[in-house]
Amino acid sequence: MSALPILPCRSPGCGVALVFVRTPNGKNIPCEADSLRVYHPDRDRGENVVTLDGRAGQMGVRWTEPVEGYLPHWAKCPKAGDWRRA
């Protein structure tokens, strides 16, 4: 996989570095750029993870084996509510 471009979050007061991972449906999920690592179902149970191929889910629920991926930015951004659709 080629390196993803890193962009700052557009939320005022946030500015965290983001990468956008493309889903199998062609949509982009903003993810924390510095969160790329291998997630384990026991240690990271309950964490939402976006895999490198764009599948999203919760550790210990969707995945019961270790997966490499990112944390979705909406799970950590203090301004996430400003971007949610009704």
When comparing pLDDT for 81 and 68, which is higher? 68
User: What separation, in Å, do the N-terminal and C-terminal C-alpha atoms of the chain show?
Assistant: 34
Integer angstrom CA distances of residue 58 from 7, 8, 9, 38, 86? 25, 25, 23, 13, 23
Q: Looking at the predicted structure, is the pLDDT value of residue 2 above 70?
A: no
**Banded pLDDT at 84 (limits 50, 70, 90):** low
Q: Looking at the predicted structure, is the pLDDT value of residue 1 above 50?
A: no
Q: What is the pLDDT of residues 21-77, one digit of tens each?
A: 999 999 999 999 998 899 998 898 888 999 999 999 888 888 888 999 999 988 877
- CA-CA-CA-CA torsion sign (17, 77, 73, 32): positive
Distance CA 43, CA 84 (A): 29
- Among 30, 29, 47, which Cα is nearest to 38's? 47
